[in-house]
Structure 1
Amino acid sequence: MANRLTDATSPYLLQHAGNPVDWWEWEPAAFAEARRRNVPVLLSVGYAACHWCHVMAHESFEDEDTAAYLNEHFVSIKVDREERPDVDAVYMQATTSMTGSGGWPMTCVLDHDGNPWFAGTYFPDQPRHGQPSFRQVLEALSDAWRNRGDEVARVAETLREHLAAGGAVPAGDGQDWSDLLEQSVVTLAREFDQRSAGFGGAPKFPPSMVLEYLLRVAGDGDGETVTEAWRMADATLEAMARGGIHDQLGGGFARYSVDRDWVVPHFEKMLYDNALLLRVYAEWGTPLGDRVARGVADFLVRELRTAEGGFASALDADSEGVEGKFYAWTPAELVDVLGPDDGAWAAQVFEVTESGTFEHGASTLQLLRDPEGPGADRLVDVRRRLLAAREERVRPARDDKVVAAWNGLAISGLCTAGYVEEARAAGDLLWRVHVVDGRLRRVSRDGVVGTPAGVLEDHGCVAAGFLDLLQVTGDPVWLERAGLLLDVALDRFAADDGGFHDTADDAEALVARPRDPSDNASPSGLSSLVHALSTYAAITGSGRHRDAAEAALATVAVLAERAPRFAGWSLAAAVAMSGGPLEVAVVGAPGPQRDALERRARRHPGAVVVVGDGPTDAIPLLAGRGPVHGRPAAYVCHNFVCERPVTEVADLEVALAR
């Protein structure tokens, strides 16, 4: 049996194409059908790598009786939150308002105009722990729709008004950003986990954007604030790198740790997490950081790269219906692969115990310390053999749609780590496939673009990725392409207070126009756009883009002051912009001398570094700046006011420190 989702491009929707539920995609025809039949709309939102989405699908959406009840009493719409973040954002706000929390799968019930009047997340197939079954919930909702219509209408109107007001952003009060940056480090230090690093308790997510901010603070002078910022960043990067959240064999990071000590992850691997972590580990500047960054980059290229040159969205947490089965090991399995001596040694090195650190006596792999001497070579060999053996296991499923924003983040991370050709190929795909009639689309699959329009984070992250490609290649086409995307963002997404909406002014009208400046698992649309605007201004000297970045930052000053953990990307941009951006032009013939200058310049957190063979008017930062006496040179500038060019790395060190 198949339903309407058989023609979907989203892998998540295709997972439900064989359900007995008569699913619709999000489209006006679904609401028209609900109005014709006078039944409510059931909206189910999830994503392909979501463990509990799979559970609810198996328990309820694959059940013939439950599906029959849904088909008779509701019009059911299935949405991939990664494909339609605008729809997800609106109804997640409703869910958190009604229940106090959110998550996926998200279940909302709507009237014929899309107004929600009930919301929740996962519902079991049988009553458990005081929670009603999904069927009981459906029966109660259907009864309310038929017999208590006035109450339903009242709730829907109240929620509609709440959602319409939800886009308001608290106004700043002229906050001094230098004071705010210092105070945010103090606030973060209070929330820092002194035992296991990171912030807060379990579950614990990689704080990638906050770490980027802390590294930029740590690289910007000296004093107690700088020391504290480095301490928190350094400890967290090391703890995550050595924990079970990091795939010690294949590279890459899981989405989060279920415990505070980074031991047991929720095993799904998301592109956005790994793109952000690739960047911050490459910027950490330690041997461990460099090793982890190479592992993450290799993971992206090996396991997430698509045939068209882009990067897939995620790997599932489950394989063979069991979460983590692909990644966990028992001591006996290590011995089977490695033999008694190496197996016992590997169990000790990777913290694999007889009782297990995960489930069913299995353990996640940790590497709490690096073996020294001959043990280092032994570790390389053991890793290679275990990875080869793991490749014979049943792999987790891959969500192979290409999301524009997350590919933009991947491009930036790969550029930072030196994987330029892979980054360029992804950039070419985004421009060739995702830009249609001058407008950016959100997703593609198998080289075919989808219909959802790009949202603000797509424009910000892709423009930032294009500007990073400009910096590492010196090809002005990336500057032109980034400028076109930023023009659309400034013209179509701007809000009256200097901030930005998450959808364009000509996008599909929902019950509310989403606007959320806070970072979550990935940068907010506003913070990603601020990075792109400020970088573009640093390269071109454009006052328009600089002013827009500063105005947008002003709208998140209150958020950054009160909750810096949810404004890390905006704070990172503020560090780079404070006192004028640091711009470095590295020009000269390719070779060891230019490479050495470029490497050192890129080690300075937040610096905009453009490399080229010589001066060119097509890239304003390189205009009039060439080699010195035939030798590659670096020009260190603030707001396009440059110091004398240097040709030695030692002199560049001094210039960067000023």
Structure 2
Amino acid sequence: MQEETRVEWRQWGQDAFDEARERAVPVLLSLSTTWCVDCHEMDATTYADPNIAANVNDRFVPIRVDADRHPRVRERYAAGGFPSTVFLTPDGEVLSTATALAPDGMRQVLDRVAENYAEKGDDAGRVPRALSGDLPPAGEVDAAIEEQLAGQLGEKFDERFAGWGQNAKFPLARTVEFALKRERDQALRSLDAVRDHLHDEVAGGFFRYAGRQDWGDIHHAKLLDTNATLLRAFAHAYVYTGEEVYREPAASTVEFLTDDLWAGVAVGGSQGPGEGAEYWRKDAAERANDRSPRTDLTAYAGGNALAADALLTYHGYTDDERAREYADRVLDYLERDLLEHGSVVHFRERGRTGPRDVLSDIAAVVGAFTRAEQVLGYGADVASTVADHAIETLHADGSFRDGPIEGPGLLDRPLRPLDGNAAMANALVDLATLTGEESYREIARETVGAFAGASHRVGVQVAEYGTAASRLVHDPLTVAVADDPGSDLHRAALRVADHEKVVVPDADESIAPDLDRGTARVVGVDGTASDPEALMERVAQRE
């Protein structure tokens, strides 16, 4: 929900760019979010200034975009933070970028951009390098990819304060998961720091990030994606260690997602930072007397798929029924309201429909339904339908585009995000193992290989790329269980301390030939197991 300003904001769409072309003026694109303090501050000060508003309205076509509702616009135009203040040609090419601007700074920027465009016109615009159309350098999918990223963990790890990097600290849940199998002490120390500094001990859930290397200067917004991925990471840490210090933050995050952020049919997108740090230092009773933080209850496809994946992971490790119940409800919502013949709708809200087939949404949805197949015994068919549609419509020249090549601005330029491709590759490895359809694994291999020629430049922030490469070079631990989902044998398989494994419940002949009912087999290990103890022995033999 945007603040009232004097600026005559247009919606993102071709009409706004056509208007800019007809008037021969630049576009001012304001990318904001509901949880961004600086966005609301800029509305209340800079854009509320009548002289600035008149300048913007007279010399530009102003477009306001909610970055959460338009992820493909965000990926092309975000200036490293929110708000992003981006000036464009009528064709969508970039003239200038900034983040939050106070009134004096905004006056200077408006004059400079308007004068530059009046002098040079469209020649002043540029297309970001990622949208140039050049393909990433391909290469062989081999062990060197995982080894390089594992080496990056050590080089970038902060030995003093934990986490990776020397400036602001983000939780980096997928990096933690990669490290759990390769540098476990780093992973656990990083989760300890996240728990100690970013976890809300009163209401549960995790804050977005810390602005300082020592995990100080907390930015108190709680985003669905952050909380879902951290819930899964803490659950994995619990299954490795058995320590309550990892289970308890996960449990309270389940409560946060299914209570404070629950939107009735699914999980909302975010909870804002409130009126300041003082709010978060108060206990539950004191908070009850304050104004609640701004909450966006839009149920986004990708975030809810990540939540379902995490809730089911936690349920598989703990038998927590609340987590299972709400995961079921989220999956029902996704399948009923946001999936259409394999196509994924980003959100639906009061008659409004968001963009379709965003790669990050698709990868998360395939991942959620493959997780459901492993934990609940159903979901692979939905995952296959979505994956097949994505392969047909988005996979080209060896990798996945971030969405359809269509729309105003630079949406008609292909973007091949490494993080989205890594997530999709991992989901396809799971799907191939669960269904026996090797074509999914081959697409995953091709996708990872499409970036392999530059793998030495991949940083720890995209460590999931190393996970995908590893699972293609070394087949993941696979446990086929010829028993019902929820049986003791199946539950024991889920709790094997290897979070990159795949568990196939109710396995048939296509996955595990000659497997008697009531037994399990670790693929690649001779012999079967009929009880949890024997299964653990078979797992140890593979390792």
- Regarding TM over 0.5, the answer is yes
One-letter amino acid matched to 1:571: G
Partner of 1:301: 258
Q: How far apart are the structure 2 equivalents of 1:212 and 1:569? A: 8
Q: How far apart are the structure 2 equivalents of 1:503 and 1:29? A: 21
Structure whose alpha-carbon radius of gyration is higher: 1
Partner of 1:19: 5
Q: Where does structure 2 lack aligned partners over 5 or more consecutive residues?
A: 316-322
Would you say the 8 A contact 2:434–2:502 is kept in 1? yes
Partner of 1:376: none
Partner of 1:134: 106
Compute the displacement of 1:508 (Å): 6.2
Deviations 1:344-395 (A, max 9, x none): xxxxxxxxxxxxxxxxxxxxxxxxxxxxxxxxxxxxxxxxxx3344333221
Deviations 1:49-106 (A, max 9, x none): 11221221111223333222211221111111222121222223xx5xxxxxx22211
- Say which of 349, 364, 367 aligns to 1:464: 367
Deviations 1:565-592 (A, max 9, x none): 1321121223333322222133435767
Deviates more, 1:437-446 or 1:536-545: 437-446
Compute the displacement of 1:507 (Å): 6.2
Would you say the 8 A contact 1:434–1:449 is kept in 2? no
Q: How far apart are the structure 2 equivalents of 1:623 and 1:422? A: 35
3-state SS of paired residue (1:307)? coil
> Could you state the TM-score of these two structures normalised by the residue count of structure 1?
0.76
Q: How far apart are the structure 1 equivalents of 2:343 and 2:449? A: 28
Partner of 1:634: 520
Q: How far apart are the structure 1 equivalents of 2:474 and 2:57? A: 61
Q: How far apart are the structure 2 equivalents of 1:290 and 1:267? A: 22
Partner of 1:192: 157
One-letter amino acid matched to 2:122: A
Partner of 1:153: 122
Q: How far apart are the structure 2 equivalents of 1:103 and 1:591? A: 44
Change (3 A) 1:214 1:163: closer
Change (3 A) 1:167 1:25: farther
Change (3 A) 1:316 1:652: same
The yes-or-no answer on 1:237 pairing with 2:191 is yes
Deviates more, 1:262-271 or 1:160-169: 160-169
Partner of 2:213: 260
Compute the displacement of 1:556 (Å): 2.9
3-state SS of paired residue (1:160)? coil
Partner of 1:65: 51
Higher RCO structure (Cα 8 Å, ≥6 apart) = 2
Change (3 A) 1:24 1:167: farther
What is the RMSD computed on CA atoms of the aligned residues? 2.4
Would you say the 8 A contact 2:406–2:412 is kept in 1? no
Partner of 1:48: 34
- Say which of 284, 298, 312 aligns to 1:387: 284
Q: How far apart are the structure 1 equivalents of 2:52 and 2:148? A: 53
Change (3 A) 1:467 1:623: farther
Q: How far apart are the structure 2 equivalents of 1:651 and 1:250? A: 41
Would you say the 8 A contact 1:34–1:40 is kept in 2? yes
Partner of 1:503: 403
3-state SS of paired residue (1:61)? coil
- Say which of 266, 270, 281 aligns to 1:328: 281
Compute the displacement of 1:509 (Å): 7.3
Would you say the 8 A contact 2:178–2:464 is kept in 1? yes
One-letter amino acid matched to 2:400: F
3-state SS of paired residue (2:522)? strand
Deviations 1:126-178 (A, max 9, x none): 3xxxxxx21222133223333x1xx233222xx13846426531333x3632x
3-state SS of paired residue (1:60)? coil
One-letter amino acid matched to 1:237: L
Q: How far apart are the structure 1 equivalents of 2:364 and 2:486? A: 30
Compute the displacement of 1:206 (Å): 0.7
Q: Where does structure 1 lack aligned partners over 5 or more consecutive residues?
A: 1-13, 96-101, 127-132, 218-228, 330-385, 519-523
Would you say the 8 A contact 2:25–2:61 is kept in 1? yes
Q: How far apart are the structure 2 equivalents of 1:316 and 1:606? A: 33
Q: How far apart are the structure 2 equivalents of 1:183 and 1:437? A: 39
Q: How far apart are the structure 2 equivalents of 1:625 and 1:392? A: 60
One-letter amino acid matched to 2:75: A
Change (3 A) 1:560 1:255: farther
1:2-41 counterparts in 2 under 5 A?
A: 14-16=1-3, 18-41=4-27
- Say which of 168, 175, 180 aligns to 1:215: 180
Would you say the 8 A contact 1:457–1:502 is kept in 2? yes
Deviates more, 1:277-286 or 1:30-39: 30-39
Q: How far apart are the structure 2 equivalents of 1:388 and 1:598? A: 42
Q: How far apart are the structure 2 equivalents of 1:37 and 1:590? A: 63
Partner of 1:114: 92
Partner of 2:306: 409
- Say which of 313, 320, 344 aligns to 1:440: 344
Partner of 2:438: 543
Task: State the identity %.
Answer: 29
Q: How far apart are the structure 1 equivalents of 2:204 and 2:304? A: 18
3-state SS of paired residue (1:210)? helix
Partner of 2:318: none
1:545-584 counterparts in 2 under 5 A?
A: 545-584=440-479
Compute the displacement of 1:187 (Å): 2.3
Q: How far apart are the structure 1 equivalents of 2:464 and 2:51? A: 47
Q: How far apart are the structure 1 equivalents of 2:376 and 2:505? A: 7
One-letter amino acid matched to 1:272: D
Q: How far apart are the structure 1 equivalents of 2:423 and 2:494? A: 24
Partner of 1:611: 505
Would you say the 8 A contact 2:42–2:100 is kept in 1? yes
Q: How far apart are the structure 1 equivalents of 2:193 and 2:531? A: 36
1:246-257 counterparts in 2 under 5 A?
A: 246-257=199-210
> Could you state the TM-score of these two structures normalised by the residue count of structure 2?
0.91
Would you say the 8 A contact 1:597–1:634 is kept in 2? no
Q: How far apart are the structure 1 equivalents of 2:453 and 2:25? A: 43
Count of aligned pairs? 530
Would you say the 8 A contact 1:493–1:502 is kept in 2? yes
Q: How far apart are the structure 2 equivalents of 1:574 and 1:489? A: 20
The yes-or-no answer on 1:397 pairing with 2:294 is yes
Would you say the 8 A contact 2:342–2:387 is kept in 1? no
Change (3 A) 1:160 1:185: closer
3-state SS of paired residue (1:203)? coil
Would you say the 8 A contact 2:267–2:330 is kept in 1? yes
Q: How far apart are the structure 2 equivalents of 1:430 and 1:593? A: 29
Compute the displacement of 1:182 (Å): 2.8
Partner of 2:138: 171
Compute the displacement of 1:512 (Å): 5.4
One-letter amino acid matched to 1:543: E
Change (3 A) 1:167 1:390: farther
